[in-house]
Structure 1
Amino acid sequence: MDIILIPGLWLDASSWDEVIPGLEAAGHRVHPLTMPGLGTPASESAEIGIADWVDSVVQVVDSLPDSCIVVGHSGGGNVAWGVADARPGRVSRVIFVDTVPPPSGFGISEFTVRDGVIPFPGWDYFPDEDVHDLDEETRERTVPLTSSVPARVPTDQIVLANRARYDVPVTLLMGGLDQEAFEAQIDQWGPYADEFHAIADAEVVRIGSAHWPQFSVPARLTELLNAAVAR
């Protein structure tokens, strides 16, 4: 199976390096991506938005001989769901890593813009629930792997128009939430709850991690990815 790996904000294809060997050992062909405009100045990236990130992944999907699995971590989940909307017949499953499928008209989040781009804010910016399992060595090792993202990407509203996306099976690998806890939480999120409940086949699996399992528990994440692909 071809598996497309979409990183979250500030990360490139190398963020999946500890996960890829286990996927390949299971016989999969893995395509880790670096998104357009990552690490480039505003003079080169000011016009790049979330639709461009979706389009870049759609191009990869279209280049493959058969259907594929699309994996999105964090903000990359918005991109993955946009791909399912654009190519529902070519995506056999979407796997969200500690994130949820967004409803149309919503963005990822807002972060401070500096010199026309959004730099990584540092691990201390995030709440403890997101980073509690990243030790100092991991934090020091991974900060150099981060790069700025185009300012429009996190705040652009994603546009979803194809209801066939709801027929694409979905697995949500959530850091600290199992299915029951997740559904109790998302039911408080208005349009996000409507989007989730519209999906015909959606499962939630607890990772047992904070927000960056590819850094903190890569073996566990790999195991769960392989299990989701096999469904």
Structure 2
Amino acid sequence: MDVLLIAGLWLDGSAWDDVAAELRSLGHHPVALTLPGQGDGAATATLDDQLAAVLAAVEATEGRPVVVGHSAACTLAWLAADARPEKVAKTVLIGGFPSADGSSYADFFEMRDGAMPFPGWGPFEGPDSADLDDGTKKAFEAAAIPVPEGVAKGTVRLTDERRFDVPTLVVCPEFTPDQAKEWITAGDVPELAKAKHVDFADIDSGHWPMRTKPVELAHLIATAT
């Protein structure tokens, strides 16, 4: 089955190399996306540009792909389900939740020269990064790609309520399924509160399981196929 892999902020498609290799060994066809502005050198890319790239990948598949989003890119996976509900078989959301209509995509940290650079590890101390050793952190930081302002400050637009019919798997790394369910019940994740088919899976990792638990993550993604 086709599995589209969308990495979160500061990452390009290579973040999925180990996960993709395991998915291939399981008989699937993973496609790791390098988004406009996050690996292709397009510093002026916008959220619309990134969504267009995701939708082009969806349309390029012969069947109905599983669309996987990590962290902020959970919203991109959700936007794909909104734009192509008849084409997306399932969304897999890793370490994040879809933003609501009208909200900013990922305006989280300081902008410098028209982009949002990786802010260092201070904001991610604790469960987010507890499973990353110093070498992995240094490699991550050295390779981090500043996110264009037009992406980070882009406005999320959702228009088709058929997105709520698309099944979703929420993979919980630095938080638990019980916590995720509590947040959804409390109204903190209104999109998933309206979704009709939501499952949860736990993975014992920090925020970047594709780095520290790629085999386990691949097997969880495979369950969604």
Instruction: String of CA shifts for 1:65-103, please: whole Å, max 9, x gaps.
Output: 111010000111111111110001110000001111222
Aligned mates of 1:160, 1:13 — CA distance in 2: 25
Aligned equivalents of 2:107, 2:161: Cα separation in 1: 24
Name which of 70, 73, 84 aligns with 2:67: 70
Structure 2 unaligned blocks of 5 or more: none
User: 1:51 is aligned with what amino acid?
Assistant: D
Q: State the alpha-carbon separation in 1 of the partners of residues 167 and 194 from structure 2.
A: 11
Which deviates further from its counterpart, 159-168 or 207-216?
Answer: 207-216
8 Å Cα contact 2:184-2:193 kept in structure 1 = no
Aligned: 1:223 with 2:199: no
**Kept after mapping to 2: 8 A contact 1:12/1:145:** no
| Residues 124-167 of structure 1: per-residue CA shift (max 9 Å, x gap) | 34232211111112112322331111112122221000001011
After TM superposition, give the deviation of residue 39 of structure 1 in Å: 5.3
The CA distance in 2 between the partners of 1:25 and 1:39, in whole Å, is 26
Of 210-219 and 157-166, deviating more is 210-219
Write the letter of the residue equivalent to 1:155: K
For residue 210 of structure 2, the aligned residue among 210, 214, 217 is 214
Aligned match of 1:55 = 52
Q: Percent identity?
A: 33
Match of 2:180 among 179, 182, 198: 182
Q: Could you tell me how far apart the structure 1 residues matched to 2:107 and 2:224 are? A: 27
Work out the CA distance in 1 between the residues paired with 2:29 and 2:39: 27
Cα distance change of structure 1 residues 202 and 72 upon mapping to structure 2, 3 Å threshold: same
- Aligned AA (2:68): V
Alignment size in residue pairs: 224
- The TM-score normalised by the length of structure 1 is 0.90
Where do residues 83-94 of structure 1 align in structure 2 (5 Å cutoff)?
83-94=80-91
Q: Report the equivalent of 2:33.
A: 33
CA distances 1:7-31 after superposition (whole Å, capped 9, x unpaired) = 1011001000111111001111111
Separation in structure 2 between the aligned mates of residue 125 and residue 39 of structure 1, nearest angstrom: 23
CA distance in 1 between counterparts of 2:90 and 2:40 reads 31
Partner Cα separation in structure 2 for residue 172 and residue 18 of structure 1: 20
Partner deviation per Cα, 1:165-203 (whole Å, 9 max, x = no partner): 01100000011444333211333344x2x3112111001
Are the equivalent residues in 1 in contact too, given 2:12–2:39 (CA < 8 A)?
no
* Aligned residue in 2 for 1:200: 196
Give, in whole Å, the separation in 1 of the partners of 2:137 and 2:43.
27
Give CA-to-partner distance per residue, 1:15-54, whole Å, 9 cap, x none: 001111110011111110111022577xx533x2212211
- Please name the residue that 1:121 is paired with: 119
- Contact conserved, 1:19 with 1:214, CA < 8 A, in 2? yes
Partner of 1:6: 6
Structure 1 alignment gaps of length 5 or more: none
Task: Check the 8 A contact 1:40/1:148 in 2, yes or no.
Answer: no
Query: 1:71 touches 1:94 (CA, 8 Å); kept in 2?
Result: yes
Q: Look up the SS of the partner of 1:70 in the other structure.
A: strand
How has the CA–CA distance of structure 1 residues 83 and 37 changed in structure 2, closer, same or farther, with 3 Å as cutoff? same
The TM-score, its normalising length taken from structure 2, stands at 0.93
